[in-house]
Structure 1
Amino acid sequence: METTKTTVPIPDKKNIFTKQTFPVTGMTCAACAISVESIIKATEGVKDASVNYANQSAWIEYSDAVTIEEIQNRTRSIGYDLIVNEEDPFQAQQDQQQKHYEALKKRTVLAILLSIPITIIGMFFMDMPYGNYIMMTLATPVVFYFGRSFFANAYKQAKHGKANMDTLVALSTGIAYLFSVFNTFFPAFWHERGLHAHVYFEAAAVIVAFISIGKLLEEKAKSNTSSAIKKLMGLQPKTVTVITDGKEAEVPIASVVIGDIIVVKPGDKIPVDGEVTHGISFVDESMISGEPIPVEKSKGTKVYAGTINQKGSFQFKAEKVGGDTILAHIIKMVQEAQGSKPPVQKLVDKIAGIFVPVVIGIAILTFIAWMVFGTENALTHALLTSVSVLVIACPCALGLATPTAIMVGIGKGAENNILIKDAESLELGHKVNAIILDKTGTITEGKPVVTDLVWKADPKETTLFKQVLYSIELQSEHPLAEAVTEILKRENTASVVLDRFESITGKGVKATYSGKSYFIGNPKLMTQHQIEVDATLAEQASQWQKEAKTVVFFADDRTTLAAIAIADKVKATSKEAIRALHDRGIEVYMLTGDNAQTAQAVAQEVGLTHFKAEVMPSDKASFVKELQAQGKVVAMVGDGINDSHALAQADVSIAMGKGSDIAMDVAKMTLITSDLNMIPKALTLSSKTITTIKQNLFWAFIYNLIGIPVAAGLLYPYNGFLLDPMIAGAAMALSSVSVVGNSLRLKMIRFR
């Protein structure tokens, strides 16, 4: 019998790709991110990678032909590391960042304390006995202990033929220090040539102190990058109550599997997605839907991880666990959006990648040129000019140009109830030409309130009926009941003791007082119990429904006694703010998870023509992408967890101060007052701040374009002028002062 051999094609593993995000440790500047990104991309089996210096993370798309451990080893070879195989890698990164920040803070403070006396001696008492030796003693720990990270990082880069800002700092401070040590011990070398043996210990120490301050401020800002993800994860409880063999048992959430019956008690967070099997309650789903009114849950309805149960208890069957829940998807989407590289970082990458090697090259060429073309004292001039180039080109002004403007801008914003988290929002804010507003809690107050209460009962009996209504609503677990009790409480309504109270699922409540039955609920409840609805109240209710208000009737066993309208009120300032945005030529859109009728009513009230109703969290983010694909710079304004993905996706993200912690953590701006009028002010602040940053960068570069050639001795052939490294150090300090001074002008902004 002949056997037929069939060849089955084996899938090429190199075509199966995995995309993951990993924390990166050890990066100290934007050039470091370039180095890490290039080494990862050069690893065989890696399709693509992007390293984000701002949030210290890297997303890597790699095939099964390479393991993440191999990529990690490649990263370690140039002095950095990826955090992998950790139960919570981002928490591990946060712990490392905190330790690094505390160590850096200590080193910076000590460097400043030692630099102060060095500077005083070097600038005012340079001829004091043993002054050079005192300065050398104080400068040594500043340069080589408190500033050791600059030398260590420069060495790691040099091993792989790379350079970054640390390289420039290490070269300038190291050469200035060694040059000063030589002049301290061998001053005669210069005296014999008719020159003074200057020392530059103060320049070396102050450079380390200044750069360390900048690093400290940067680390402080970066230390909060993972807090949003951490809080999102905190929405899921650590343990859950599961029914096993008819008994309740508390188990870790990780052990929950599909099909488990889970018990949820009052105040509990829903641990996973599922379907209610027993019991009735109301669940606050505002973090998912954005709507303020808790949703009634009974047998057959769905519940979602991260939402919060109210007063009732129920049981549900787990249907989606682990990474499949809606909450887990939101976390993943926020992580990916936050991990994308912002425009400002790309600019910094380019500057860092070019500036450092160019300056080093100029210093080397300067030394060679003087050695070749110099005549008398060629070595002396070569040393002085090359040190001057490195000192005057030290990136203090360049390093301070952006952060000082941002710091002042952030302070100015805080004075005006605008909290700004980073440079990206300031860079892009003034370019915004499309703004998306969430409805609930952003355009509206975010809290249901009674807008109208009309009585048709006999005025003599109204007082008693109010007491009955108040007493019934006090016992009701329905979220709208709180709005009713709130308005009656303000009227000092007294309560009475009810004979009986009964909740009618999905329709309302029934109660008995003094042998008489009373009902509170929707029109369906009235119809079910054959209660006559007063014609005037029915007409009024119809009008309220057109205004997107929820209508509740209060009745006895024969007829309706009152009609109540409940709504989420539009903020008093929303219409004015939207008009101001339109006047700026900005397109304004409203997105909401609410129904189309409500959305249309709110849009008309505030003067909006662009709106979308019944949108899910992922739909909001997709809409942001749609606008971005059209070339628009998009700002997203929201207040709920359901907005977090869209906030992370938007070019500029703004959270309302009374919203969820997650929204405020993801957003790059937070409006403390929840007043939409702050948005035009925030855009004005962005415009003024970015103008200041551009001015600072301009002057920092002009300073280098002029200062570096002069330091290299360009004027020497014409007028014999040679820039002393001491003057170069002073010029470097002056450039930093000018940048800071220009940034401080932001304090004088007057908002329109």
Structure 2
Amino acid sequence: MTHDRDHESHAAPDSHTAHGGHAGLGDHVAQFRKLFWVNLIIAIPVVVFSTMFAILLGYQVPDVPGARWIAPLLGTMMYIVGGRPFLTGALSEIRSRKPGMMLLIGLAITVAFIASWGASLGLLHHELEFWWELALLIVIMLLGHWVEMRSLAQTTSALDSLAALLPDEAEKVDGDSTVMVAPADLRVGDVVVVRPGGSVPADGRIVDGRADIDESMVTGESRPVARAVGDAVTAGTVATDSGLRVEVTATGDDTALAGIQRLVSDAQNSSSRAQRLADRAAGWLFWFALITAAATALAWSIAGSPDASVVRAITVLVIACPHALGLAIPLVVSIATERAARGGVLIKDRLALEGMRTVDAVLFDKTGTLTKGEPTVTAIQTVADADEDTVLALAAAAESDSEHPLARAIVRAAEERSLTVPQASGFSSSPAVGVSATVAGRQIQVGGPRLLEQVGAQEIGAAAAWRDDGAIILHLVRDDEVLGGLRLADEIRPESRDAVDALHMLGVEVVMITGDAHSVARAVGDELGIDRVFAGVRPEDKAATVAALQQEGKKAAMVGDGVNDAPALAQADVGIAIGAGTDVAMASAGVILASSDPRSVLSVIQLSQATYRKMKQNLWWGAGYNLVSVPLAAGVLAPLGFVLPMSVGAILMSLSTVVVALNAQLLRRLDLSPEASTRAVLG
């Protein structure tokens, strides 16, 4: 079987973790959004009709029927409805014996709820009426969690994208005809027809035909690989130029594609669930508040003031409400995510963003990441009196009717040189030879070694050196006379050198991992000054290579763009997908680069460092308020005649929240362009 694109000879011979008790993705975004708006509306009358809030601000509670019960009843509704996610999370943290943010929030709103009812019913001191504090805490915490969930929500599924590689239907041979069946209905031994440009529906062995197979999504090989009768083909790969008949040797879970799916799933599920910085701070603050409250009650009781001991102890627990702490991380993440998106960096996983600052090894996939992922004419050598422009123009003329990637590369090279390409006629192609056409009454042929064998000619002098570099070599023959040779290779991106140099300046080891041949990988690695090169690596080995580096103690980031990179992206401490790549790679990564510029990795590092600084600063502001105000509220300075009034505590509480919010806004000043980030490192 042949097709006008047959070019056989063109191939070279050689979740976010559960935040306490809630899951945090998908429907949780809508859940927290709805809860926030509902509770915000309810909170307004709760605050307005709160007696203590009116005393603090010096106004009279509105005189309406039943005014004294408005705050208690609506506050109870907020506690049950708005507080439910936090109470559920608090119970989960108690069961796991890992107190954190949820337990601290749950404790604060529960203490405020019980104390407020006690004050409203006249059972406790009126200063313990905290309905306004309960309402504001719930609203602010719901806002913080909504912002956080939205920044972490994932919109694509890696496994769904992997499954999409398979065709919807397979053309199964049934006697002298064919029938369309679902790939899932195929059985071992069935024979299927794969049309030019079609995907292989199951792993199999070619029984008829030959074609260039695009295996880049599975092996990472940058150029189509020639496959003929007897050769194995993999589900999801594409016959680029000719039709094939394939006998099925594996289906379903036994296919290589299913194996990749399992690798992605396993790597994602086994990813470390690092304890969040805010949760650790909240855990410490929980014990700090609880111990301080107990000590306060004991100290005031011993001092002979049992009534004051209750007031002071409960005040301590409520003042420990983490208003600012609850916004410290989500607000920074939200602004950082938004700023990153404007800079061409999409953050899908907050843990990946936090972890990028400590990465000490970056693994780059070669094809489509460090290189452009498409063949390019990189050199021309002429024979006799021919010049480079003539050779290129004649080759482009002969290739102009072909859609093969190498043909397009030759035509594109002629266009870039603004050459006049003569008209060609009588175009034909052969998968065993190359292409042929008539130009100006003379036969022009372009092909590889078999073309030279056919015309009895020798290859050009530079061919051996080009072959050692892993390049694709084509010869131009006019009337059986060789006029020159073309060197085609996957062109290195001009930005790749700066990216590698800048990473070295930061003390980061640069590793290249590719499914390409050793000669190709070595040439690229040498040119870019890459520290370590792993070539001929299959998908399962890519994930294993990342794991091996991690076992060396490396904090590894993986940068890739293909399905073959998905397991490694999921295995890495930080997975970075090139946005021009596949949905699978993007779904498996924590960070997505909208452009294909490898220097954007520097942007991610810069953003990670800046974000971490803001997180620490905000945590100190948020927790610092508690570290100062809680002891004062406990009465540590009472012997000197000073006890922190609730009104002052409320002001400090609000001020710490404002400071946290303003500090997070400073992230918007970051210039995350690849040029700026690289310049900041290289100078």
State which of 136, 145, 154 in structure 2 corresponds to 1:224. 154
State the alpha-carbon separation in 2 of the partners of residues 148 and 432 from structure 1: 38
Superposition pairs of residues 524-563 of structure 1, within 5 angstroms = 524-530=450-456, 532-533=457-458, 538-563=460-485
Are 1:658 and 1:674, in contact at CA under 8 Å, matched by a contact in 2? yes
The letter of the residue matching 2:355 is L
Are 1:581 and 1:680, in contact at CA under 8 Å, matched by a contact in 2? yes
State the alpha-carbon separation in 2 of the partners of residues 217 and 246 from structure 1: 61
1:29 aligns with 2:19: yes
Classify the secondary structure of the residue corresponding to 2:362: strand
1:220-250: CA deviation from partner (whole Å, max 9, x where unpaired): 3443186223322322344433223444223
The letter of the residue matching 2:635 is G
1:628-686: CA deviation from partner (whole Å, max 9, x where unpaired): 22222222222222222222222233222322232233222233332233333432332
Shift of 1:28: 5.0
1:309-359: CA deviation from partner (whole Å, max 9, x where unpaired): 334322211222222222222222222222235363276666566654664
Aligned to 2:199: 269
Shift of 1:216: 1.7
Shift of 1:538: 1.0
Classify the secondary structure of the residue corresponding to 2:351: helix
Are 2:367 and 2:373, in contact at CA under 8 Å, matched by a contact in 1? yes
1:172-195: CA deviation from partner (whole Å, max 9, x where unpaired): 2243244334544549x75xxxxx
Aligned to 2:652: 731
Are 2:332 and 2:664, in contact at CA under 8 Å, matched by a contact in 1? yes
- How many aligned residue pairs are there? 650
Shift of 1:568: 1.5
Aligned to 1:41: none
Aligned-residue Cα RMSD (Å) equals 3.6
Aligned to 1:703: 625
Superposition pairs of residues 154-553 of structure 1, within 5 angstroms = 154=90, 165-184=101-120, 186=122, 199-224=129-154, 227-342=157-272, 344-345=274-275, 355-356=285-286, 359-360=289-290, 362-363=292-293, 366-367=296-297, 370=300, 372-373=301-302, 375=304, 378-379=306-307, 381-453=308-380, 469-470=395-396, 472-488=398-414, 491=418, 496=423, 498-499=425-426, 501-505=428-432, 507-511=433-437, 517-530=443-456, 532-533=457-458, 538-553=460-475
Aligned to 1:622: 544
Aligned to 2:525: 603
Shift of 1:267: 3.8
State which of 107, 128, 132 in structure 1 corresponds to 2:61. 128
Are 1:635 and 1:654, in contact at CA under 8 Å, matched by a contact in 2? yes
State the alpha-carbon separation in 2 of the partners of residues 337 and 719 from structure 1: 60
Classify the secondary structure of the residue corresponding to 1:498: strand
Shift of 1:254: 2.6
Classify the secondary structure of the residue corresponding to 1:430: helix
Classify the secondary structure of the residue corresponding to 1:555: strand
Contiguous gaps of at least 5 residues in structure 1 = 1-22, 34-52, 57-96, 191-195
State the alpha-carbon separation in 2 of the partners of residues 249 and 730 from structure 1: 76
Aligned to 1:573: 495
After superposing the two structures, state which structure 1 stretch, 693-702 or 627-636, moved more. Answer: 693-702
Shift of 1:472: 4.1
1:672-705: CA deviation from partner (whole Å, max 9, x where unpaired): 3322333334323322322332333334443333
State the alpha-carbon separation in 1 of the partners of residues 567 and 601 from structure 2: 20
Shift of 1:163: 6.2
Contiguous gaps of at least 5 residues in structure 2 = 1-14, 672-676
Aligned to 1:661: 583
Aligned to 2:86: 150
After superposing the two structures, state which structure 1 stretch, 437-446 or 220-229, moved more. Answer: 220-229
Task: Decide whether aligned partners of structure 1 residues 617 and 565 sit closer, same or farther in structure 2, where only a CA change above 3 A counts.
Answer: same
The letter of the residue matching 2:34 is K
Aligned to 2:571: 649
State the alpha-carbon separation in 2 of the partners of residues 551 and 128 from structure 1: 87
Aligned to 1:80: none
State the alpha-carbon separation in 2 of the partners of residues 655 and 437 from structure 1: 10
Classify the secondary structure of the residue corresponding to 1:593: coil
1:535-567: CA deviation from partner (whole Å, max 9, x where unpaired): xx7124445445543221121342123422222
1:37-77: CA deviation from partner (whole Å, max 9, x where unpaired): xxxxxxxxxxxxxxxx7xx7xxxxxxxxxxxxxxxxxxxxx
The letter of the residue matching 2:631 is P
State the alpha-carbon separation in 2 of the partners of residues 541 and 469 from structure 1: 17
State the alpha-carbon separation in 1 of the partners of residues 291 and 168 from structure 2: 57
Structure possessing the higher relative contact order (Cα contacts under 8 Å, 6 or more residues apart): 2
Shift of 1:145: 2.4
Are 1:391 and 1:729, in contact at CA under 8 Å, matched by a contact in 2? no
Task: Decide whether aligned partners of structure 1 residues 658 and 519 sit closer, same or farther in structure 2, where only a CA change above 3 A counts.
Answer: same
Are 1:713 and 1:722, in contact at CA under 8 Å, matched by a contact in 2? yes
State which of 106, 126, 129 in structure 1 corresponds to 2:34. 106
Are 1:274 and 1:319, in contact at CA under 8 Å, matched by a contact in 2? yes
Task: Decide whether aligned partners of structure 1 residues 226 and 164 sit closer, same or farther in structure 2, where only a CA change above 3 A counts.
Answer: farther
State the alpha-carbon separation in 1 of the partners of residues 292 and 302 from structure 2: 16
State the alpha-carbon separation in 1 of the partners of residues 552 and 98 from structure 2: 38
Shift of 1:580: 2.0
Task: Decide whether aligned partners of structure 1 residues 634 and 103 sit closer, same or farther in structure 2, where only a CA change above 3 A counts.
Answer: closer
TM-score by length of 2: 0.84
State which of 715, 726, 741 in structure 1 corresponds to 2:637. 715
Are 1:268 and 1:308, in contact at CA under 8 Å, matched by a contact in 2? yes
Are 1:276 and 1:301, in contact at CA under 8 Å, matched by a contact in 2? yes
1:692-719: CA deviation from partner (whole Å, max 9, x where unpaired): 3233333444333333333333333442
Shift of 1:387: 2.8
Shift of 1:29: 1.9
Identity of aligned residues (%): 33
TM-score by length of 1: 0.77
Are 2:32 and 2:143, in contact at CA under 8 Å, matched by a contact in 1? no
Classify the secondary structure of the residue corresponding to 1:691: helix
Are 1:713 and 1:723, in contact at CA under 8 Å, matched by a contact in 2? no
State the alpha-carbon separation in 2 of the partners of residues 437 and 574 from structure 1: 10
State the alpha-carbon separation in 2 of the partners of residues 162 and 449 from structure 1: 57
State the alpha-carbon separation in 2 of the partners of residues 559 and 127 from structure 1: 103
Are 1:391 and 1:732, in contact at CA under 8 Å, matched by a contact in 2? no
State the alpha-carbon separation in 2 of the partners of residues 164 and 28 from structure 1: 12
State the alpha-carbon separation in 2 of the partners of residues 572 and 162 from structure 1: 50
1:690 aligns with 2:612: yes
The letter of the residue matching 1:240 is A
After superposing the two structures, state which structure 1 stretch, 417-426 or 442-451, moved more. Answer: 417-426
The letter of the residue matching 2:170 is V
State the alpha-carbon separation in 2 of the partners of residues 647 and 162 from structure 1: 30
Shift of 1:522: 0.6
Task: Decide whether aligned partners of structure 1 residues 336 and 615 sit closer, same or farther in structure 2, where only a CA change above 3 A counts.
Answer: same
The letter of the residue matching 1:539 is G
Superposition pairs of residues 48-67 of structure 1, within 5 angstroms = none
State the alpha-carbon separation in 2 of the partners of residues 745 and 346 from structure 1: 22
State the alpha-carbon separation in 2 of the partners of residues 167 and 547 from structure 1: 61
State the alpha-carbon separation in 2 of the partners of residues 140 and 358 from structure 1: 27
